[in-house]
Structure 1
Amino acid sequence: MKRNFISGILLNFVVMVGISVILSHPGVAAELAKEQVVRVGSDVDDIGTVDPHFAIKIGEDIIYRSVYEGLLRLPYGEMNMDKLQPCLAESWSLSSDKLTWTFKLRKGVKWHEGYGEFTAEDVKFSIERILDPKVGSPFRPTLSTIDRVTVVDPYTVQIKTKRILPELPALMVDYQAGYVVCKKAVEKLGNDIKYHPVGTGPFKFQSYKPKENFTLVANEEYWGGKPILTKIVDIFMPDDATRELALRKGEVEAISLPAKQEWIDRVRKAGFDVNLTSP
């Protein structure tokens, strides 16, 4: 039985923004019932980094979007900033002078691998890390209007802007500069954080094999509830034909490719589900 697998299951936990076409295997429902493991063929030969403050390469997003989160988020498929939802922050408000935003953080959220509880210190560290010119994050310009970040208490953080910035909450979503990283993990792992992500999200790091694959496993202590899937394996397959063949043979449950209309039409005729996402 055909099933719209990616939008129905995987994208509840993994948002593949930047991948233009996602294909899913018609028999994936039965496979999920057995193992709950999803293998994704990505159109890259390897990853450069899965540190969300640096990652810009298509094919890396399935990893860091499964591991890291922002203070806020949008429902999948939405770009309307009026529909922002709480994530690591439960609520947010603006001061009377419209320069200071206060975020009340979710309590009891745990970092992966025993790094302790998520707090306002992690938010402050993340924003200041991006803004530090010595760090060299490509997303520094995105947050350049921020004047300072103040930790009020472990679960309250204030962000003051240099000018009135009504779109500040939109910059705190789980995308690019909005991701919160673990201060303790970054300080301990150093450069290894590029390939050993530590987040608060529904999936956590298991292994990385250069030029082969990157494996995530379910975070059973996830604050949002136990994930449906037990494992995601991102397999590096830079060749289009190889990925399509792997999908047809059932060696992967989904593949990604740049959008090409003739290719989309062809695979749809073959009975595969195609899900388009924004680049």
Structure 2
Amino acid sequence: MRYLFSEGIIFKEPSAYMALMASRSIPRNTGFVFDFRIMAQLACLYFISLYYLNKTKSYWDVALLVTVAITTFSRGPLIILGLLLLAVYLPKKIRITKRILVVVFSSFIFLLGSVVYVLNNENLQKFVSTFNPFQDKNAFSQRGAFTAYSLNKFYENPLGKGIGALSSPNADNKIYAGITNLHKEVPDKIYYYKVTDAYLIMSLAEKGIIGFILLLLSLIEIFYSRRNRVSLFFFLGFLINLIGTDIPKQGFYYFVFIVIYYSLSQNKMSMPKFKSLT
């Protein structure tokens, strides 16, 4: 994978740096799209398709897509998928039956085994700890420089700087993101010249308060128009994802996801039947 990226074989420009390892040791599944984030998002979209096509009892398909999502180690889509699984499989009214007891007991054993395994694997511990918002190095704090920079730009002009003012590589930005080479007498400073991985706050700075409110209203119309538990949980997960994601880099994929999701959610009864992978 490093060879494919560094030689410019996958994309038109070589990419010398690509986080192909979680905690620098666990391989990440980039899938056929050569991007672990997009691959995990496709897993979420597939699960949504199963739900709207009344195929949520295709448990082998669900197991496969969950496995694909987990092996990407992409935190945002994993949060979305977790919320979707809760929304779909949590009963409206809980009735204790033998089947439920077996499922709960099996799930508990699996969860317990997973916890024991994680606690005995230092690299997995580091990855799991990034989900904790109270940790110093959590998923959000890693985007702290972009968030702080975007908020400062918003305070300067609450009506917005204009689309691309922060996200364009040609914009006049210089974002301090810390230091590197700590072994040197004078460590090197790290600077970025455009905002990435902080789409929600970046949108606030670029679009301004009016544009940002319109953005939120449009997202509510798209993702919560069905007013059911699945659409609500998906919308909440999507908002969490937007805090740290980089949409401009994946713009076309997000556009396709939105079109497919909205089409599925609005035409539940008229969608054609399809055969599952199994």
- TM over 0.5, yes or no? no
Q: Give the TM-score of the pair, scaled to structure 1.
A: 0.23
So what's the TM-score if we normalise by structure 2? Answer: 0.23
**Looking at both structures, which has the greater relative contact order when contacts are Cα pairs under 8 Å and sequence separation is at least 6?**
1
More strand by share: 1
Q: Which of the two has higher C-alpha Rg?
A: 2
